[in-house]
Structure 1
Amino acid sequence: MSSPKRMRRAVASSLALLGAGALLVGCASGGTAPKADLGSGPAKAGTVKEGALQGSTVTFVSWGGVFQKGQMDAAGKPFAKASGATVLEDGPTEYAKVKAQVDNNAVTWDVVDTDIIWAQKQCGDKGLLMPIDKKIIDTSKVPDGLVGDCYVPAMQYGYVILYNAKKYPTAPTGWKDFFDTQKFPGKRAIAGFEDVGPGIYEGALLADGVAPDKLYPLDMDRAYKSIDGIRSSLIYWKTGAESQQMIESGEADMALVWSGRGYAAVKNGADYKPIWNQALQITEALGVPKNAKNPDAAFAFINYYLGKEQQEKLTELTSYSPVNTEAEPKLDALGKEYLTTAPEIAKQMVPTDAKWWAENYDSELERWTKWLQG
């Protein structure tokens, strides 16, 4: 199963775990759920029938801090007001807890924010997540390729190279320059925790001339050969906060980081620039655990979360990009530079393949762990 370390990369700026205000709900979702009347006609993202879930409880689980607060302010609280449901929150997401709840038929978490690779691994008969109910969830406004059999996207962001503008008067323009330590000498920061997923591997292949639409299945032998070639120039971050600090301190001349962390570093004054050319598109997922006591209410929550207004507000609060194609968040100039759904940025980015990573996660994690130790 995917490590919880993996999801820590998806959190915006300084995310602490939920503090004293968190609701540790125990068996809040237990018992027989009231019958929900969600109305007639096709589902429409961002809406719920007024009072439809009166007497129901939905427990939403995410990663805490700024990001989860944004999710609750943008979607959770207004959903509760509109639907009549009691919306509780818990966190951080722990995959072992999801498994224990499902295995013991004692599910208290109704909607869970997870890493998309983990979510992909949990689809199907042997997985831990229920199939998405398209009668309740309207995914028509979700960008192509982001909906799985048992999840929808929670948000999207970029895995992007930032470079020190003072160090490089001639700006690097992409992965080829990241791997060219002769023309662009200096330290490169990449993730160095014991977890795998889209990132330096795709970058190595793109630098070596592989076309974006021919990336998968990844030729990992070829990727490692390129990464080995710059190993002496690599430094490693283990948390999003550490990646941001490496930029703000100037320790990294180039850094492969989550776009939210890059945005936060530049907002704090770091003179660094992003390279959107062939930056990697990454998403998080929302899913409903099997054996959830009130799946209709959980799916209704997700449907509401995907609405245009909800997604606009979530982006404005967290800096991460919306998953509704009609969303037009109001951002300052810097925020617009990191909005990965902006047409001028989106057209440069490379989609990543969660299905391939889910199928190859275990073997690639073993290889990466050995490489880090070597």
Structure 2
Amino acid sequence: MVSGSRTALAGAALVAAATLLAGCASADDGSTSGTGAPEKLTFVSYGGSGQEAQIKAFQEPYTAAHPNVTFANSSPADVAQVKAQVQAGVVQWDVMSVAPAAAKQNCGTLFEKLSVPKLDPKDLSPQAVGECYVGNWSNATIFGYNAAKYPEGPKSLKDFFDTAKFPGKRGVITNLQNGILEFPLLADGVAPDKLYPIDVDRALRKWDTIRKDTLFAANVGALQQAASADQVDMFLLPDSRMISLLNDKKNVKMVWDTTVITLNALAVPLGSKHKAAAEDFLQSLVQPEPAAKIAEALGVVPVNVNAKPNLSENARQLEVNGPVNTGKSVTQDIDWYSQNFDAVTTRLGNWLVG
């Protein structure tokens, strides 16, 4: 379709937190969302500024309205961890960030089928609600660069792959949600409306041309840190992390060629002991006010069409649906990814270690 993450917990802390939570899970078996028995929802996302924003925009207002419901935060979100928990019959997470395609592919096997009757599709962006997920915002992954490195900056995605014209280190995130397959094809001349089905081999061949000059970051936080430390000169980074660079007064400029828009979603792991409370929480966070707050904090696109965010100057620089975007945008095909997620993940993983 074409159109005009307060936490600093890392992997070791996740294990410790999970152990503690497992010990207290049996005490919280009741599921309420307003009044009644205390419930603690374990919320797992990707850490950093994005998760901090979700705490402020989603969790704190929800607890204020539902004092019996509190949150324990952890990171990173990982489908493999959910699979291990479900298979072991010890599910410790209640709400987690997930690619909509992964939620759709594993609906009913790793993720709960949701009952969210308070949500009206006409108030939300397309595909914002799936059988096993609720979108919390849309990300635009944008081509950014260090303007001090390139006073005469790049103008197109082709320049990202031209190390003769623009020498320097590139950076891209290796998860499928941030355009690692779409961007090389767009740079190679594929029209936005012809991207799907994705030619994975062609995309990887394009990456081969600049492989030695590219940092393949495992997650958004790693690439944000590399860009902040001037370890990469050009980077394909989501708006929710690009805004942190702008807020930190980094000399970053954007190239508005074609951006890749991805729905960011939340799901409930299968076997959560707090499913009803989790469902109520998910319905709350896509209402106009929290949807606007998360957009203001991260510079992302709200999923509620009635949200009216008061964007900062920096956020307006990243507004993919605003006048700053003089290029095009392509929205990731959730159906294609849900049907091909495992095979493509394996293919990409083998290439990365090859």
TM-score (norm 2): 0.81
Q: Distance in 2 between matches of 1:65 and 1:294?
A: 25
Q: Residues 15 and 67 of structure 1 are in contact (CA less than 8 Å); yes or no, is this contact kept in structure 2?
A: no
- Map of 2:223 onto structure 1: 243
Q: Residues 164 and 273 of structure 1 are in contact (CA less than 8 Å); yes or no, is this contact kept in structure 2?
A: yes
Note closer, same or farther for the CA distance 1:291–1:279 as it changes in structure 2 (3 Å cut).
Answer: same
- Map of 1:186 onto structure 2: 167
Structure 1 position 351 matched with structure 2 position 331: yes
Aligned ranges 1:77-156 → 2 under 5 Å: 77-92=60-75, 93-103=77-87, 105-123=89-107, 125=108, 127-156=109-138
Q: Distance in 2 between matches of 1:345 and 1:161?
A: 12
Alpha-carbon offset, residue 205 of structure 1: 1.2
Q: Distance in 2 between matches of 1:237 and 1:277?
A: 22
Alpha-carbon offset, residue 52 of structure 1: 4.2
Q: Distance in 1 between matches of 2:51 and 2:208?
A: 38
Structure 1 position 76 matched with structure 2 position 56: no
Alpha-carbon offset, residue 202 of structure 1: 0.8
Q: Distance in 2 between matches of 1:113 and 1:129?
A: 12
Alpha-carbon offset, residue 65 of structure 1: 4.6
Q: Which moved more, 1:142-151 or 1:249-258?
A: 249-258
SS in 1 for 2:328: coil
Q: Residues 99 and 177 of structure 2 are in contact (CA less than 8 Å); yes or no, is this contact kept in structure 1?
A: no
The one-letter amino acid of 1:133's match is: S
Q: Residues 28 and 39 of structure 2 are in contact (CA less than 8 Å); yes or no, is this contact kept in structure 1?
A: no
Aligned ranges 1:181-330 → 2 under 5 Å: 181-182=163-164, 184-191=165-172, 195-330=175-310
Alpha-carbon offset, residue 344 of structure 1: 5.0
Q: Residues 186 and 252 of structure 1 are in contact (CA less than 8 Å); yes or no, is this contact kept in structure 2?
A: no
SS in 1 for 2:130: coil
Note closer, same or farther for the CA distance 1:212–1:94 as it changes in structure 2 (3 Å cut).
Answer: closer
Match of 1:16 among 8, 31, 34: 8
Note closer, same or farther for the CA distance 1:201–1:292 as it changes in structure 2 (3 Å cut).
Answer: closer
Note closer, same or farther for the CA distance 1:325–1:226 as it changes in structure 2 (3 Å cut).
Answer: same
- Map of 2:347 onto structure 1: 367
Q: Distance in 1 between matches of 2:184 and 2:270?
A: 38
Q: Residues 61 and 112 of structure 1 are in contact (CA less than 8 Å); yes or no, is this contact kept in structure 2?
A: yes
Q: Distance in 2 between matches of 1:84 and 1:54?
A: 9
Alpha-carbon offset, residue 75 of structure 1: 2.4
Alpha-carbon offset, residue 89 of structure 1: 2.0
Tell me the matched-pair count. 342
The one-letter amino acid of 2:105's match is: K
Q: Distance in 2 between matches of 1:152 and 1:176?
A: 35
Q: Distance in 2 between matches of 1:320 and 1:302?
A: 18
- Map of 1:45 onto structure 2: none
Alpha-carbon offset, residue 58 of structure 1: 5.0
Q: Distance in 1 between matches of 2:121 and 2:42?
A: 20
Q: Distance in 2 between matches of 1:32 and 1:180?
A: 56
Q: Residues 129 and 290 of structure 1 are in contact (CA less than 8 Å); yes or no, is this contact kept in structure 2?
A: yes
Note closer, same or farther for the CA distance 1:301–1:346 as it changes in structure 2 (3 Å cut).
Answer: farther
Note closer, same or farther for the CA distance 1:25–1:321 as it changes in structure 2 (3 Å cut).
Answer: farther
Structure 1 position 161 matched with structure 2 position 153: no
Q: Residues 41 and 71 of structure 2 are in contact (CA less than 8 Å); yes or no, is this contact kept in structure 1?
A: yes
Question: CA offsets per residue over residues 108-136 of structure 1, 9 Å max, x none?
Answer: 5332222334323321x4x2112232424
Alpha-carbon offset, residue 334 of structure 1: 1.2
Q: Distance in 2 between matches of 1:234 and 1:32?
A: 47
The one-letter amino acid of 2:112's match is: M
Q: Distance in 1 between matches of 2:330 and 2:73?
A: 33
Q: Residues 189 and 252 of structure 1 are in contact (CA less than 8 Å); yes or no, is this contact kept in structure 2?
A: yes
Alpha-carbon offset, residue 285 of structure 1: 1.4
Q: Residues 116 and 283 of structure 2 are in contact (CA less than 8 Å); yes or no, is this contact kept in structure 1?
A: no
Alpha-carbon offset, residue 265 of structure 1: 2.3
Q: Distance in 2 between matches of 1:139 and 1:59?
A: 26
Query: Which runs of no fewer than 5 residues in structure 1 stay unpaired?
Result: 1-10, 37-50
Q: Which moved more, 1:184-193 or 1:337-346?
A: 337-346
% identical equivalent positions: 30
Query: Which runs of no fewer than 5 residues in structure 2 stay unpaired?
Result: none
Q: Distance in 1 between matches of 2:221 and 2:87?
A: 34
Note closer, same or farther for the CA distance 1:288–1:199 as it changes in structure 2 (3 Å cut).
Answer: same
Match of 2:155 among 156, 173, 184: 173
Q: Residues 187 and 251 of structure 1 are in contact (CA less than 8 Å); yes or no, is this contact kept in structure 2?
A: no
SS in 2 for 1:200: coil
